[in-house]
Amino acid sequence: MKKTVKKDLAKIEEEINNYMTILETLDKEDKHHTNLKISKEEIEKLVEKKAQFQKDLELLNTLGEEQFNKTDHDATSMSKPSHNLMAYNSQIAVDHKYKFIVATDISTNGHDLDQLHNMAIKSKEIIENSDMIVTADKGYYSTREIKKCIEDGIETIIPPRCTAANKKIKSARFSKNQFTYNHLDDCYICPNNQILSKIKKQYERNGRMLDVYRISSTYCKVCPLKQNCLSEVTPNKQMYRWEHEDIIDDYVKKMKTPQAKKIVRKRGSIVEHPFGTIKRTLGWDHFLVRTKKKVLGENALIMFTYNFKRLLNLIGIALFKKLCIAIKENNLNQIREEIAAYILMSAYYMAYFLEDIFYGQDFHKKMRFRR
């Protein structure tokens, strides 16, 4: 990354300058009684590193990029809890009933903010279910992505991220959620019950058009709450609102319903389990190939392997052989009923087995207590 190259370059220049300062000092003193902590060979290595870093910086400036991977030009730096690494961001969509991966893709961004609509569309095309509900963690929460899904008739359940609109500011100043929006008059009401009116001018920020709401500095100058609202150099209060914010207001209300919260709680057990199985059971914790095109193929192979293993766990080898024959003969009606009956019976036996285990544990505890 460019900032890392600049940091390393500055560090090397500092070391070289320190060495030159020591040499100038030694010229005025007796060199035989002074031990240098750095040798001439080490200085030559530093000069070579400096030249290489300068070339890297020139390359980044020429490409107009903040980062560039010489091994894999498509990979980008992504942050992990303990370190950063050059990687790809694997995306999956999982069916909640049978836990199959129905869609997958690769992203070169270190975040998921631009992947909600992409994965929702892929899933909708594959399962052909217009009533499906897409849920994801708050890392996918993007107002633009949510708007795209609503326009395409896809219902989403994404918990809002902790933004300035819904988090508590540690300082004493008011946050945006302490200003009430009046839908009828299209204005904001400040904590001192003054009106911030909408002006004609709009601002563009991060690809979104924002409406501006402003109050006269005459009111702000004499306001008793000014210290909790404005800095010393700000003459008046100004609020920004996305032109499609009404859609998000309704969405936030939906996310507070018990049904939405219930779906969010189920999400982790649905979509996180495949990644754990792929990394720990199947042993795939990194990609073996380079460039996005090849990584897309390897990623698809990994997800196919997981689905194949999942299918065998659900229906077994014998029924899988019958399924292959049915597909070859283009006669799936009978095998569908047989598979459904097998899965239902397996679920029944599993429930009975678990109930027997828990009942036995509970009975053992009671007997031990009586003794």
pLDDT tens for the chain, residues 1 to 371: 677 878 888 888 888 788 777 777 766 665 555 555 566 777 788 888 888 888 888 888 888 887 888 888 888 888 776 677 888 999 999 999 889 999 999 999 888 999 999 999 999 999 888 889 999 999 999 999 999 999 999 999 999 886 554 444 445 688 888 899 999 999 999 999 999 999 988 999 888 899 999 999 999 999 999 988 998 889 999 999 999 999 998 999 999 999 999 999 999 888 888 999 999 888 888 899 999 999 999 999 999 999 999 999 888 898 899 888 888 888 888 788 888 888 777 767 766 666 666 555 554 554 454 55
Please report the sign of the dihedral spanned by the C-alpha atoms of residue 352, residue 355, residue 357, residue 360: negative
pTM of the entire predicted model: 0.77
Q: Which CATH architecture has domain 70-161+256-315?
A: 2-Layer Sandwich (3.30)
* Integer CA distances (angstroms), 348 to 55, 308, 314, in order: 66, 23, 13
The phi-psi region of residue 206 (left if phi > 0; otherwise alpha if psi is between -120 and 50; otherwise beta) is: left
pLDDT digits 0-9 by tens, 53-92: 888 888 888 888 878 888 888 888 887 766 778 889 999 9
- Taking each helix axis as running N to C, give the angle between helix 292-328 and helix 333-370, from 0 to 180 degrees, rounded to the nearest 10: 100
- pLDDT value of position 15: 81
- pLDDT value of position 171: 54
* Integer CA distances (angstroms), 232 to 194, 221, 239, in order: 20, 11, 17
Nearest to 9 by CA among 61, 73, 76: 61
- pLDDT value of position 290: 92
- pLDDT value of position 161: 81
Cβ–Cβ < 8 Å for 110, 78: yes
Q: Is 270 helix (H, G, I), strand (E, B) or coil?
A: helix
Q: What number of other Cβ atoms are within 10 A of residue 147's Cβ?
A: 17
Please report the sign of the dihedral spanned by the C-alpha atoms of residue 204, residue 207, residue 213, residue 214: negative
Look up residue 193 and give its DSSP letter. Answer: S
Residue type for position 358: F
Nearest to 126 by CA among 146, 143, 103, 109: 103
- pLDDT value of position 165: 47
pLDDT digits 0-9 by tens, 119-166: 999 999 998 888 899 999 999 999 999 999 999 999 999 998 865 544
Q: What number of other Cβ atoms are within 10 A of residue 146's Cβ?
A: 22
